[in-house]
Homo-oligomer: A and B are copies of this chain.
Amino acid sequence: MSTSRYRAGADLGGTKIQTVVVDSNDHVLGQARVPTPKGDGPPGVMAAIIGAVRSAAEDASIEPAALSGIGLGSPGAVDDDNGTVSRAFNVVSDWTDDVPVAKQLGEALGAPVHLGNDVRVGTAAEMAFGAGQPYSSLIGVFWGTGVGGGVVLDKKIWTGRGAAGEIGHTVVRMGGARCTCGRKGCLEAYAGRMAMELEARRRVKDGQRTRLFDLMERQGRDRLTSGVWDRALEHHDRMAEELIDRALDALGAGIASVINLLDLEAVVIGGGLGTRLGQPYADRIAERMLPHLFVPERPPAVHVAMLGDLGGAIGAALLVKET
């Protein structure tokens, strides 16, 4: 039972940690956002989450001790029963073993911690408060560092034997590009921001020109963030346009395959790149799906995620409510 009206949600991503504090009506009272620290392994990440939850509480003008619970949406293998996260390689590359995340955060923040898969949590938020509200079946496609999926059937997240949703590892080209997961031809090998950056670096090494890395440095970044891609597209940088085009083709083919299989009502495009590029690019994905749809006269609705960068954290806060 909640002893307070306030809950926190934290969305752990490969690039940033977003936190919110919400009230009993799920209204956001405060928020914070910090870069995901890369140098200090899981302990560094834990410290950053703790700091970001405290900052969101401060932004909401409440004490962290007043929180009835904290939800965390995380990539990797998330085990809420045991309170652990393992294999969160997108967060820090050496995050292999089980980290007792719930215990560490709970002790530091003085409230119970609930864990969920980042993509499912983001999809649940879009279903509850965002672009998914009108539909009973959809797929949330989180287009960011990787490409994650949250499948909703009859208004419920489908988890299968626990690992469902990996649309990023749909094979869109047998024998195709090497994915960051090590496999070949995955959707994520073409559309994941990490794979796109690796491809851009290869092309630069081959002597091709781009403003991508200049823009990156000018923004004080060491990676091609969604903002860098967006800015490069504004500048009509040819390599950026080509790589985004390639990503849109792969997203179109991969998502159309899901629709052919499940005949869902809608697609919600979220994630760093998805929300940054917005509805015009969601519309382009819808166009690229059309040639592959088995029933093209009745395509699913394709929306950009409505909750934007806050969706994951708001969904994480829902984990507290759900217990």
Contacts and interface: CB of A to CB of B under 8 A. Distances in A.
Interface in A25-77: none
Contacts of A161: 137, 263-265, 298
B264 A169 contact: no
A172 B174 contact: yes
Interface stretch (A88-96, A204-212, A247-255): A247-255
B294 A262 contact: no
A230 B216 CA distance: 58
A32 to B, nearest CB: 32
B262 A151 contact: yes
Interface in A150-202: 151, 153, 158-167, 169-174, 176, 181, 183-186
A318 to B, nearest CB: 22
A161 to B, nearest CB: 5
Interface string A282-323: 000000000110110010000000000000000000000000
A262 B150 CA distance: 10
A4 interface: no
A125 interface: no
A149 interface: yes
13 contacts: A151-B261, A153-B158, A158-B262, A160-B262, A161-B298, A165-B263, A171-B257, A173-B174, A174-B249, A174-B253, A181-B294, A183-B292, A261-B261
A247 to B, nearest CB: 12
B294 A166 contact: yes
Nearest to A184: B291
Nearest to A300: B161
Interface in A206-254: 249-250, 253-254
A153 B151 CA distance: 12
A124 interface: no
Contacts of A181: 294
Nearest to A170: B257
A99 interface: no
A297 B61 CA distance: 47
A294 B137 CA distance: 24
B257 A163 contact: no
A258 interface: yes
Nearest to A288: B174
Given A151-B261, A164-B261, 6 more contacts: A153-B153, A160-B264, A164-B262, A166-B260, A166-B261, A167-B260
A295 B169 CA distance: 11
Contact of A292 (B165, B171, B256, B257): B171
A292 B171 CA distance: 7
A63 B42 CA distance: 74
A68 to B, nearest CB: 32
A30 to B, nearest CB: 36
Contacts of A151: 261-262
A277 to B, nearest CB: 21
Contact of A171 (B183, B254, B264): B254
